[in-house]
Structures are given as structure tokens and as C-alpha cells.
């Protein structure tokens, strides 16, 4: 209460002003103490009430301006004087037009219609007030008393002659939001819709008997029961923290209808404006606090609101909450930065003593122990802006924990590698380098040149051979030097065919049809010699195609030997399945291994093979082969069982190098290999029309051409390589 509101124009004036600065009317003309109103005589309660009003500022919504008298001003406590002095310094110019005196509610002037209970009070028989001590105050009211973002109470309007304590718009008043202002204004009853935290059943019934339910009650009828709690509070010394919300709500009706209230509830216009002269005298009596109360109030310090209530113009409300009544955490909130829009600066904050946070509140903040210091410091300065915990500071650290996190530690990714491991890694890298290296792009498409080259070489070979075969130039000379194995072969054949008894030869035919042209050419001359000696030929093969090739070979050789009776002297034992195993079985018991001929006749009962039971009974074994494995199988399996029977081999040229060791070792008696061997054999036999001789020019020409092509190719590729090397150099 650092200012006095003019009862005529509603403007704010300094506390020491006697006339309104705006309308120049006397501020105390109508507030003189009525002569007829006794000051004593059982009205101590009213003085007490005024004392409460002055030191507690517990009725924010019922603030009535300008009821201070000059006498009371001299007795104001020190804290109030200090506030007034500061307000005087900071008082803004008045902007709001004052209410007309006729706009005051009529109940203020209804002094005569005091209810019985007031009369009883006046008579000194004060009914027992509601026991409203701290025990009856619910905990929720205590705990939530510090909320600072409650809905703003209705703007206090100027009340002529009465100056109620200023209330900050962010006064933490519990239950104010539950107050049904609209219902209150409609019924003009502050009791009905108000949800009192106290049990109204404890109130005496006579308090409510005289209150009409459908009409606005007069001021004496209403304020008395509502103000009793103030008396009780003063008597009991209840701290003015959260419980002060109750008087704030209950004194709401004392506020004259403001613009805002009118907008909310048109029925608030019903109360007649109270004339200042009609106001009860007791409302204008000065407060005369006792010395104890002054001393007690001196301990308190009010936090001046930073902003006035909505609709109140420049009125500044003083927080009714005192530091002594406030919990420590609420004091911490005051020191903390406020949420924009809801903050207020405490007046004379430098004078506010820093309070200590109670232990129980520390216990409610376990996040301080768990959260990082950074978060904790931020949490200490953060005020919850919304939700049921709005206004509390550092209560919910979860937001900070989630949104604020420390940078994760950075670990070194450098490997600790030993020298040995480094060497291995280098070697491995070298190994895979060739695999991962992209190969050089192909210099050119080599498919076409290769095809052309192959076509040229092939056609050249074919044309050359055809020309030689057709023309038969005879430029090639038969070899005069024959290999010793061919000589041995020739000698063996001549020896056997020259014998008195025609020899019986086991002919092993194991070559594929693909090389029949070579082997048939070579063996034809040999078979002709054997046929010339009327030799008995028993063909056997470990190749399925052998029997057919044998028949063809006999047919071709018999052309040159018309006297030879193939049907009698030639027998085909057919195919022997099993490879080397079949040869081993044949070496052991030929009669059981190859019992029949190709015609199904008993082979060993024929005239040719009659009396023979073993391989050694044959005079010679002639092997025609183009395969190294089969040749070795014959040598390994049959030759040991053949005894003294010579093993003669007619082989393809491709097998000759592999069979040469057996020739050197004597396991092969004689061998004719390829056209070279056939030419040597024909050279030895002096056959003028041997098949090899007819192919000898072509064979020699072809071999010469191949050699020339190989030489030319080697030279060309050598030159190309030399050129490339020079280019690289």
C-alpha cells in the first residue's frame, strides 16, 4: 500500500498526498471516521482485521483503494513505509479513469443491515471462528502456494476510501483458479460458489441464515464471516504463504465490478455503486497495529510485483507472501531467472536474504546427484514454464538430461601393431595388390587376327598337303638311317615268319578311331608281312572300338595278301572289359578271360588257338596303341606273363617318346612308331608300294611347312616383342 487511490477518479496518488493529483479532490474527505462509530466497545476485532490487512496484504482481489487515514499512516509499520516510499518513487502517471462514486456497490453503504452475527460481534459475543490453523490447511494448499503462473485474479478496481493491499498478478494463490467468478457474480454471493478449503459445516448455522440465496448480499452480511478467518489467522499467527489464497478468494466479492468482470459476467453490474459516504466506518478506520505486530511485520519484506494485474492500469500489487512464510524453494525461484512472460523482479531484491533450501526439497531432487554438473547448473536456473509444476525450479531434470548430453569420448582408432605384424601386413598387401590391380586394357581385339591366322595356317596346310598328295612330287627321300627299335621289330617279324611253323600272334588293338589313319597306314605293311608268313592272328582289345578297327585292319591288309585265308588264320576275341584288370586276367588265364570270339564261337577250341592255355603260348604279342596308359598296362601286365614271346609295338607318333624307355629297357622288343617308323620298316622291307611311301612326300612336306610356320611365327613374335621392349625403354 504505497499509494492511495482517489475515490473519485481512481487515479493513484502518493501516500502522503492529501488531494488527488488528477481531480484535485480531497482524498480523505469521505473517509473520515464517523463520529458515531465507536472505536472501542468490542470492535477490536475490526482493528485487528485492519492490522491484518495492513501487514499481510492477504486480500489481493479485494483491494480497496484509499481507505488510509492520516492517523493510520503515522502508525504504519516500517516495511510498509519503505514500500510506500519506493512506490512513490516508481509510481507511473495515472491512466485509468476513476470510478464514479455512484458506481460503488451499494452494500458498502448498507451499514444498517448488519447481520446478527455482526451485531453479536459488536456486542462482544464473538462467535468462535473457524479453526483455521495450519493443521486444517491441506497440504496441497501449502505445497502449491508458490505457483506464480496462476490465472490472474480479477483486476481490482478502485474503491473509494479503501486501500487494500496490492496483489501481484503472479501471486501464488492456490484455489484461485477453482474460484467460480462467474457464478459468484451471478449469485452475488461469495460463499456459495467458493470452494472453501475449510469445512463449512463447522461454521455456525447462523452465519448463513441471513444470507439470501438469490440476491446479492450486503457487505456487512458477507464480509463478517469471511473476515473471521483473518482474525483467526492473526491470532494464531499463521504464516501467510499458501493459506492466504483463501482470503484472496473470499474477499473477491469486495472488489467492485471492473471492466473485465463485466465482460465475464454482466450480472456484476447489478450491485449498486457504493457511495463513499455510505461505506461503513469500520472500513475506514486506521489500522493501529500493536508493537508486536509491527515488530513482527518488520521482519517481512514484500516482493513488489513487476507488473500490475490486468485491467488494473498501473496499479502495482504487493505480494502478500512474506519470506518468512514462504518455503525456501520458493525463495530460490525468486532468485532464479524467470520464464519470459511470467517473471517479476522482486522489489529491493538486494535486500532479500538468501534462504537455504530445506532438506526435504533436496531429497526431491535426486537428479542433481545423477546428472552432470552442467545439467545440474542449468537445472538450477531453469524454471518449469508449463504444466502442473509450472514455476518450480529444477524439479524436472529429465528434459535437460535428454536434450543435453555430453560429447561422447573419442577413442583412438590407431592400432598397436608390432613390427612382425607390420611385416606380415605388408606381405599380405603385396600379395593382394596383384589381385586388386586392374589389368591393363586389351591393346586390341585379338579374336579376328587369331581367326584369320588360324584360317590361313589351316588352309595353307590343307592346300599344301592336297597339292603334294595330288602331284606326288617325290621330293622326299625315305630315311636311310632307321631307329634300332624298328630294326629289332623288323628282325623279329622276319624271324617268326621265316619259321617252319606259322607263328601265332596275339594282336592287341587298342587305339581310337581318331588315329586309325596313322596306325592303319603303319600296321598295314606289318600285317601284310605276317599274312605273308601265314601267321595266325588273334585280335583282342580293351577298347570297345577295337574289334571293329581290327576287322577293318584285317580287311585292308588282306587286300595285299590274297592267298591269306583270314577266316581260318584270323580270330577276333573281341573286347575285354576291365582295362588293366582284364589284361591281368588275360595274362593269367586267357581261356577264361576271352573264351569266345566275336561270333560267339569258342575261341580256344578253334584250329588257330587249339592247345593254347596261356599268353606265353603265343609266338609274339603285337601291340597297336595310341595310348600311353594302355601301352604301359600291356607291358606291365601281359609282358611278364608272355615269357620269351617278344612284345612288338606299333604305336602312334605321340606315344613313342613315352614308350621309348621300355624299348631301352628291353621290355619292348621292337617298335614302329608313327610314319617315321613305318617308313623305316618299309625301308627295311624294301616295299616299293607301301602306304607310308605314298604319304611320305606329304608327310615330309607337311612337317617342313609346320617347321617353317613355327620359325616364321617365332621370328615375328620375337620382332614384335623386341619392338615393344624398345618402346617401353
Partner 1 sequence: MAPDLLWTFIAFFLTILVLSYVMGDNALFRLVMMVFVGISAGYAAVLIFYQVLMPRLITPLVTTPLAANTALVIPAVLGVLLLFKLSPRLSILGNPSMALLTGVGAAVAIGGAVTGTLFGQISGTISPFELSGLSSAGSVISQLFGGIVLLAGTVCSLAYFHFGARKKNGENTGSQPVLIQILARIGQIFIAITLGALFAGVLAASLAALIERLDFLINVLKPLIS
Residues that bind partner 1 (CB under 8 A): 451, 454-455, 458-459, 461-462, 465-466, 469-470, 513-515, 517-518, 520-521, 544-545, 547-548, 574-575, 577, 579-581, 584, 595-596, 598, 600, 626, 632-633, 635-637, 639-640, 652-658, 661-662, 664-667, 673-676, 694-695, 698-699, 702-703, 706
Closer CB to partner 1, 165 or 678, in the complex: 678
The Cα 103–Cα 258 span in angstroms is 10
Closer CB to partner 1, 82 or 639, in the complex: 639
The Cα 38–Cα 44 span in angstroms is 10
In angstroms, give the least distance from the CB of 559 to partner 1: 13
Task: Classify residue 603 by its DSSP letter.
Answer: G
The Cα 666–Cα 673 span in angstroms is 16
In angstroms, give the least distance from the CB of 580 to partner 1: 5
The Cα 315–Cα 5 span in angstroms is 9
In angstroms, give the least distance from the CB of 516 to partner 1: 8
In angstroms, give the least distance from the CB of 508 to partner 1: 15
The Cα 376–Cα 393 span in angstroms is 11
Indicate the pairing of strand 3-5 with strand 12-14. Answer: antiparallel
Closer CB to partner 1, 277 or 469, in the complex: 469
In angstroms, give the least distance from the CB of 611 to partner 1: 22
In angstroms, give the least distance from the CB of 551 to partner 1: 12
Closer CB to partner 1, 620 or 642, in the complex: 642
Closer CB to partner 1, 179 or 695, in the complex: 695
b/e 173-190 (16+ beta carbons within 10 angstroms → b): bbbbeebebeebbbbbbb
Alpha helices in 546-616 (DSSP H): 546-558, 566-569, 580-588, 590-593
Nearest to residue 87, comparing CAs of 316, 265, 280? 316
In angstroms, give the least distance from the CB of 496 to partner 1: 23
Nearest to residue 677, comparing CAs of 526, 543, 552? 526
Closer CB to partner 1, 280 or 547, in the complex: 547
Task: Classify residue 637 by its DSSP letter.
Answer: I
Closer CB to partner 1, 274 or 526, in the complex: 526
Closer CB to partner 1, 276 or 574, in the complex: 574
In angstroms, give the least distance from the CB of 437 to partner 1: 28
Cell numbers given for 116: 446478527
In angstroms, give the least distance from the CB of 712 to partner 1: 16
- What is the DSSP secondary-structure string of 350-405? GGSPPPPPPHHHHHT-THHHHS-HHHHHHHHH-B--SSTTTT-BSS-THHHHHH--
The Cα 409–Cα 407 span in angstroms is 6
Residue 244, class by beta-carbon neighbours within 10 Å (0-12 exposed, 13-18 middle, 19+ buried)?
A: buried
Closer CB to partner 1, 340 or 600, in the complex: 600
Mutual angle of helices 691-728 and 516-532, in 10-degree steps: 150
Amino acid at each position: 500500500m504505497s499509494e492511495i487511490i482517489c475515490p473519485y477518479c481512481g487515479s493513484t496518488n502518493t501516500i502522503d498526498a492529501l488531494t488527488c493529483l488528477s481531480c484535485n479532490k480531497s482524498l480523505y474527505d469521505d473517509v473520515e471516521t464517523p463520529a458515531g462509530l465507536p472505536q472501542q466497545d468490542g470492535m477490536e476485532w475490526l482493528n485487528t482485521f485492519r492490522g491484518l490487512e495492513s501487514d499481510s496484504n492477504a486480500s489481493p482481489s479485494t483491494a480497496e483503494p484509499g481507505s488510509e487515514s492520516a492517523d493510520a499512516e503515522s502508525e504504519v509499520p516500517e516495511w510498509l513505509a519503505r514500500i510506500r516510499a519506493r512506490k512513490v518513487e516508481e509510481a507511473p502517471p495515472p491512466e485509468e479513469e476513476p470510478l464514479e462514486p455512484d458506481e460503488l456497490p451499494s452494500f458498502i453503504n448498507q451499514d444498517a443491515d448488519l447481520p446478527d452475527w455482526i451485531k453479536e460481534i459488536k456486542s462482544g459475543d464473538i462467535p468462535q471462528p473457524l479453526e483455521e490453523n495450519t493443521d486444517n490447511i491441506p497440504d496441497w494448499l501449502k505445497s502449491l502456494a508458490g505457483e506464480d503462473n496462476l490465472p490472474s485474479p480479477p483486476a481490482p478496481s478502485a474503491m473509494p476510501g479503501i486501500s487494500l493491499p496490492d496483489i501481484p498478478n503472479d501471486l501464488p494463490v492456490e484455489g484461485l483458479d477453482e474460484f467460480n467468478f462467474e457464478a459468484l457474480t451471478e449469485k452475488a454471493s461469495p460463499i456459495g460458489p467458493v470452494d472453501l478449503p475449510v469445512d463449512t459445516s463447522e461454521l455456525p448455522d447462523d452465519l448463513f441464515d441471513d444470507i439470501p440465496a438469490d440476491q446479492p448480499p450486503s457487505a456487512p452480511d458477507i464480509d463478517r464471516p469471511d473476515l473471521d478467518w483473518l482474525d483467526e489467522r492473526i491470532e494464531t499467527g499463521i504464516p501467510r504463504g499458501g493459506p492466504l489464497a483463501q482470503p484472496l478468494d473470499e474477499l473477491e466479492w469486495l472488489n467492485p465490478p471492473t471492466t473485465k468482470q463485466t465482460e465475464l459476467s454482466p450480472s456484476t453490474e447489478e450491485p449498486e455503486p457504493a457511495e463513499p459516504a455510505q461505506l461503513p466506518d469500520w472500513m475506514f478506520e486506521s489500522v493501529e497495529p500493536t508493537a508486536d505486530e509491527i515488530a513482527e511485520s518488520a521482519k517481512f519484506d514484500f516482493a513488489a510485483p513487476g507488473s500490475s494485474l490486468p485491467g488494473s492500469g498501473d496499479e502495482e500489487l504487493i505480494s502478500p507472501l512474506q519470506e518468512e512464510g514462504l518455503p525456501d524453494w520458493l525463495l530460490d525461484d525468486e532468485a532464479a531467472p524467470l520464464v519470459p512472460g511470467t517473471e517479476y523482479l522482486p522489489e529491493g531484491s538486494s535486500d532479500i536474504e538468501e534462504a537455504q533450501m530445506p532438506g526435504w526439497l533436496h531429497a526431491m531432487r535426486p537428479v542433481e546427484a545423477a546428472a552432470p554438473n552442467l545439467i545440474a547448473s542449468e537445472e538450477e536456473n531453469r524454471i518449469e514454464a508449463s504444466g502442473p509444476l509450472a514455476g518450480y525450479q529444477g524439479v524436472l531434470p529429465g528434459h535437460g538430461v535428454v536434450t543435453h548430453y555430453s560429447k561422447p569420448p573419442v577413442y583412438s582408432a590407431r592400432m598397436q601393431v608390432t613390427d612382425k605384424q607390420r611385416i606380415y601386413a605388408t606381405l599380405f598387401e603385396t600379395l593382394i595388390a596383384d589381385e586388386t590391380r586392374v589389368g591393363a586394357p586389351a591393346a586390341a581385339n585379338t579374336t579376328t587376327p587369331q581367326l584369320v591366322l588360324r584360317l590361313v595356317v589351316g588352309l595353307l596346310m590343307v592346300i599344301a598337303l592336297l597339292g603334294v598328295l595330288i602331284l606326288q612330287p617325290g621330293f622326299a627321300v625315305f630315311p636311310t638311317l632307321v631307329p634300332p627299335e624298328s630294326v629289332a621289330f623288323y628282325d623279329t617279324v622276319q624271324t617268326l615268319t621265316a619259321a617252319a611253323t606259322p607263328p601265332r600272334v596275339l594282336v592287341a588293338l587298342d587305339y581310337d578311331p581318331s588315329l586309325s589313319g596313322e596306325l592303319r597306314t603303319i600296321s598295314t605293311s606289318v600285317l601284310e608281312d605276317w599274312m605273308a608268313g601265314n601267321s595266325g592272328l588273334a585280335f583282342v582289345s580293351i577298347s570297345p572300338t577295337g574289334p571293329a578297327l581290327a576287322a577293318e585292319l584285317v580287311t585292308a591288309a588282306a587286300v595285299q595278301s590274297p592267298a591269306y585265308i583270314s577266316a581260318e588264320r584270323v580270330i577276333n576275341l573281341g573286347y575285354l572289359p576291365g582295362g588293366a584288370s582284364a589284361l591281368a586276367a588275360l595274362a593269367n588265364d586267357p581261356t577264361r578271360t576271352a573264351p569266345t570270339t566275336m561270333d560267339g564261337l569258342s575261341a580256344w577250341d578253334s584250329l588257330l588257338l587249339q592247345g593254347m592255355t596261356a599268353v606265353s603260348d603265343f609266338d609274339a604279342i603285337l601291340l597297336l596303341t595310341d595310348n600311353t596308359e594302355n601301352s604301359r598296362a600291356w607291358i606291365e601286365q601281359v609282358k611278364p606273363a608272355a615269357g620269351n614271346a617278344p612284345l612288338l609295338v606299333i604305336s602312334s607318333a605321340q606315344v613313342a617318346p613315352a614308350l621309348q624307355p621300355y624299348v631301352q629297357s628291353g621290355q619292348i622288343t621292337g617298335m614302329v612308331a608313327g610314319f617315321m617308323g613305318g617308313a623305316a620298316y618299309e625301308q627295311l622291307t624294301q616295299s616299293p608300294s607301301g602306304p607310308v611311301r605314298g604319304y611320305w612326300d606329304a608327310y615330309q612336306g607337311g612337317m617342313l611347312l609346320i617347321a617353317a610356320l613355327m620359325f616364321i611365327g617365332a621370328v615375328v613374335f620375337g620382332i614384335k616383342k623386341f619392338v615393344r621392349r624398345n618402346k617401353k625403354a
